[in-house]
Copies of this chain bind each other. A is one copy, B any other.
Amino acid sequence: MPFMPPTDSMFLLAETREHPMHVGGLQLFELPEGAGPEWTRETIEQFRSGGVSDLFRRRPKEPVGVLGNAWWTTEGSVDMDYHIRHSAVPQPGRIRELLQLTSRWHGSLLDRHRPLWETHLVEGLQDGRIAVYSKVHHSMVDGVSAIRLMRRSLSEDPDDRDCVPPWALAPRPRSTDVERSGGLDPLSLVRGGAAVAGDVAGLLPVSLKIARDVVRDGDITLPRAPKTILNGPVGGARRFAAQSWEIERIKRVAKSSATTVNDVVLAMVSGALRTYLLEQHALPEDPMTAMVPVSLSLRAGDDTKTGNATGAIVVNLATDRESGPTRLEEIAYSSRKAKKILRDLSPTQILALSALQMLPLAASPVPGFVRYTHPPFNVVVSNVPGPDRQMYFNGARLDGMYPTSIVLDGQAVNITLCSRDQYLDFGIIGCRRSVPHLQRLLLHLETSLGELEQAWG
């Protein structure tokens, strides 16, 4: 019976009905040519009668244990009808109705008496596409690994009919298994793009010690984020918004402005948040900050490939500036500075610094705590590499791959994007209560990009 390392079990321990600890994603597919409405049902039947890898058979041995769920057990017979679900979008079958369903699904807890994953195959979209919504508990798979599994289940060949779904893939070593085998390791703090930043409670003493060593020697100024409506306690209900942007548009702005794709993405987010908070009469005077997971590969000066994110920087979003171009400049400056500091550190120091920046989040599971403290940053913006070309699943064309991440007390919005062929697919998940009209961020992201294009397009 495999022991569950603290880095897994903490996600089970920290989970409440207010913040479920699963990650997920919404995929869109165009059916293969000539496929009829029976395609979905046949695919579901195939899935249900097909295999399941050991990873997706794992469940906590003591689902109701109060002292942690320290052991995994393997489910002999998986109830596939339960895990693989047939669903339908109500009339009129727009993306809007699909996003409403996704919001509901992402807000409900997984059953701990079973392997911690679910997949919905969704029919009823008016344009004939089908959607796949999946969720998996962060204690089983982190966000980056989940997207890797998705990629592995797809094929570049539209005629390939041997694709198997992610839960049926033959196992490969998990990306961070090597580092994690040693038990408490600051690396785990930022595992999975640090999208889940509230998971540091158990590691606090270790990371504190290392962080002290780093900071003693450096001149690192930690930015102080203002309090905003994005940084209060969260409820259990979610709202999910998703949209794709052409990478080419973003690259063009990055090139003209001598910044990076990630800088332009952050500038889009900055402009969108600024407009959104102005509408809500809730824009803080001080500039907001974003926590951005970065790859260790940036040590080689290459940050176009994201790789597996294993560090985190905090970037000034310059939301106090009215002009989009000015915001982009400040973001790029702040980001360069943060990366320069990282570049001068050893990998261990990078991890320790990243951990230090997230320390205040450690107390976020304490009810009421978030009301009295400044957040360590205002929002997490995470960029996860997806497939760099057009992909297919048994002939169905992948047409969107929107990550659905985790919100926490104090971090009521999470923006995770996934690159796909010529697109960046944005998935924005938020607390439905504290972040009203979340979907307006999509409009504002476009407006914000448009403003940058006017200046530098």
Taking Cβ atoms with an 8 Å cutoff, the residues of A that contact B are 16-18, 37, 40-41, 63-66, 79, 82, 85-91, 97, 100-101, 104, 107-109, 111-114, 123-124, 233, 235-237, 367, 432-433
CB-CB < 8 A to A65: which residues of B?
367
Pair B235/A88 contact, Cβ less than 8 Å? no
Pair B235/A111 contact, Cβ less than 8 Å? yes
Given contacts A17-B112, A87-B90, A90-B124, contact A367 B237 (CB under 8 A): no
Q: How far is the CB of A39 from chain B (nearest CB, A)?
A: 11
Bound together, the chains give a CA A18 to CA B235 distance in angstroms of 20
The answer, among B86, B91, B108, B124, for a CB contact under 8 Å with A109, is: B108
The answer, among B16, B97, B111, B237, for a CB contact under 8 Å with A236, is: B111
- Nearest-CB residue, chain B, relative to A17: B109
Please, could you name 21 A-B residue pairs with CB atoms under 8 Å apart, sorted by A? A16-B64, A41-B91, A64-B233, A64-B367, A66-B367, A79-B432, A79-B433, A82-B432, A85-B100, A86-B91, A86-B97, A88-B90, A108-B108, A108-B109, A109-B236, A111-B237, A112-B235, A112-B236, A113-B236, A114-B235, A124-B124
Looking at chain A's contact residues, the main secondary structure is loop
Bound together, the chains give a CA A119 to CA B79 distance in angstroms of 28
Bound together, the chains give a CA A91 to CA B91 distance in angstroms of 14
Pair B113/A235 contact, Cβ less than 8 Å? yes
CB-CB < 8 A to A107: which residues of B?
111
CB-CB < 8 A to A104: which residues of B?
85
Bound together, the chains give a CA A123 to CA B88 distance in angstroms of 10
Bound together, the chains give a CA A367 to CA B65 distance in angstroms of 8
CB-CB < 8 A to A114: which residues of B?
235, 237, 433
Bound together, the chains give a CA A97 to CA B65 distance in angstroms of 34
